[in-house]
Amino acid sequence: MRLIIILLVVFWLIFLRPTFLLGDTSYIIVVGHSMEPTFYHGDLVIAKKSDNYTNGDIIVYKHRDTYVVHRIVEVTDKGYRTQGDNNPNPDPWLLRKEDVLGKAIIHVPYFGYILAFARTPVGVFFISFIFLLTLMPGMTERRGEMYLTKKQMILAFLIGTFIVLAIASGFVNRMDEKTAIRIEEVEQRHYGNFSYVAHLKPNVLYGKTELRPGEGAIYSNLLEFLLIRFNYRSEGKEAFGNYSVHVYIENPDEWIKEIDYIPKKSFRNSFGFNYTLNLSEIQRLIEIIEEETGVSGSYRVKIVPEIEFGREKFEPSLNISIGGKVIDIKKLNHVRNITAERTVFIDNKIGFLSVSLLKKIMLFCSIANIIAISYVAVFMRTSEEEMLRAVESETVPKTEKVIRLKSAKDLAKIAQNTGKQIIKCKDVYYILDGDIRYEFKKS
């Protein structure tokens, strides 16, 4: 029996070793009805990697985190076309050879239901309990006393550990290894900066004819004209496109009029331009409009570069309030950020261990545990002293029938089957069962 078990395990490890043990075999539970009547929902399909797949082969592949079992209906230079036997049309994609997990070689009807149940914590506990009973013969009850041999206690511990590992693995395996977090990153940063030089009439107040930002108030009576400079630059991803310039005069909430326009020009990453604003001409235009409309008020000149790059647009605006005794210039510096959404995957952790590492540790411990159980069950022998656990007696009683046994193991089996106590008298071990005495003499 031990030899048969060893040969089966060796055969499985050589020819049907699963992928999680670095093998080339996949064990797939059929889900759905696309392969009926060849396969039904709940069947188990065992697929093995192949060097060559041909038309008509049933293969297993993964599509969008789902395992698919379909038949090859066309082989092309670009890949394999598949279709479910119960589907009216082929699948809309082509598979490369590296996408295929394997070719179906074994089909076990309904076994997928058992395998799916075995993956649940309840199923693991149930199967482990049955496994415990089958691997632990020899639990002895003699005169109401039950005890385990050393081998049985080791097996009980290992199988108990396996149950705990399996239940823990069931919970851990349901956890996602990573969490997807969407973050916005600045892909491009666009700067639009205005500056100006106010050219003044000769004056006593400033003692100079040029005034720059921060050097003092610009009085209407002193101003001859404004020389305005605009500079654009970008950071990050390369920016290129077109720009144009619009100049407006407006009476807020009443009217707005475009008074100048610079046609579109192309740019790459940066550009600049100068614009001269003659307030005397603008004042004459305002007087004409006031006479036409009969409406007066406060006025504002707006210089708006319209910058286009791809589908995006950047429109920094310089606002110049006129009509009063002091000219007010606002919003010299402008920034526009173009963001792009990026998905970042962060490892989920339990304590200081990542979930992915914990899954590997659980798998390693489970495999080591199974190997230990198999070794103890197949190779570890129960000692003769344990099998001949007995009570002392000074004499061996006479009986009508005496059956002499060849081994302590035979006597232990009779004790187990009859529930009788093994009795020891010097080097003779025996069991009394009515008028029959089973006897083993230790050499």
Q: What is the pLDDT of residues 194-214, one digit of tens each?
A: 999 999 999 999 999 999 999
pLDDT of the residue at 66? 83
Distance CA 178, CA 7 (A): 40
Residue 23 has pLDDT above 80, yes or no: no
Both tokens of 351, joined, read: 């304590």
Predicted pLDDT of residue 22: 67
In this structure, is residue 46 part of a structural domain?
Answer: yes
Percent of the chain clearing pLDDT 90 (strictly above): 37
pLDDT number for residue 135? 52
E strands present in 278-362: 299-309, 312-314, 318-322, 326-330, 333-347, 349-350, 353-354
Does 297 lie in the same domain as 193? yes
At residue 170, the pLDDT reads 67
Indicate whether 256 belongs to any domain: yes
Token output for 422: 């093994």
Given a cut of 60, is residue 118 above it in pLDDT?
yes
Same domain membership, residue 360 and residue 315? no
Confidence tier at 139 by pLDDT (50, 70, 90): very low
366 closest CA partner among 190, 172, 202: 172
Report residue 390's pLDDT band, with 50, 70 and 90 as the boundaries. Answer: confident
What residues are paired with 94 via a beta bridge?
81
- Give domain status of residue 11, yes or no: no
pLDDT category, 223, cuts 50, 70, 90?
very high
Residue 22 has φ and ψ, to the nearest 5°, of: 65, 30
Regarding whether 339 and 193 lie in a shared domain, the answer is yes
> Can you give the residue range of the structural domain that contains 91?
18-116
pLDDT at 142: 44
Q: Percentage of the chain surpassing pLDDT 70?
A: 88
Number of Cβ atoms within 10 Å of the Cβ of 408? 19
Q: Does 300 share its domain with 319?
A: yes
* Amino acid (1-letter code) at residue 56: G
Same domain membership, residue 137 and residue 88: no
From the list 186, 193, 275, 274, the residue with the least C-alpha distance to 232 is: 193
What is the rounded CA–CA span in Å between residue 354 and residue 177? 8
Q: Tell me whether residue 125 is in a domain.
A: yes
Q: In the predicted model, what is the mean pLDDT of the chain?
A: 84
Residue 8 lies in a domain: no
Q: Give domain status of residue 12, yes or no.
A: no
Q: Which pLDDT value is given to residue 144?
A: 45
Residue 190 counted as domain residue = yes
Residues 35 and 102 grouped into a single domain: yes
Its pTM stands at: 0.47
| Among the ranges given (259-273, 326-340, 377-391, 395-409), the one the predictor scored with the smallest mean pLDDT | 377-391
C-alpha triplet 425, 426, 428: angle, nearest 5°? 65
Q: Would 312 be classed as within a structural domain?
A: yes
- Give me the pLDDT at residue 234, please: 92
Among 323, 343, 363, the domain boundary falls at 343
Burial class (CB in 10 A: 0-12, 13-18, 19+), 228: buried
- 112: nearest Cα among 98, 123, 101: 123
Sorted by sequence, the CB contacts under 8 Å of residue 422 that are 6+ apart come out as: 142, 388, 389, 390, 391, 411, 412, 415, 429, 430, 431
Is residue 230 domain-shared with residue 198, that is, in the same domain? yes
Among the ranges given (42-56, 274-288, 389-403), the one the predictor scored with the smallest mean pLDDT: 389-403
Q: What total number of domains does the chain contain?
A: 4
pLDDT at res. 318:
94
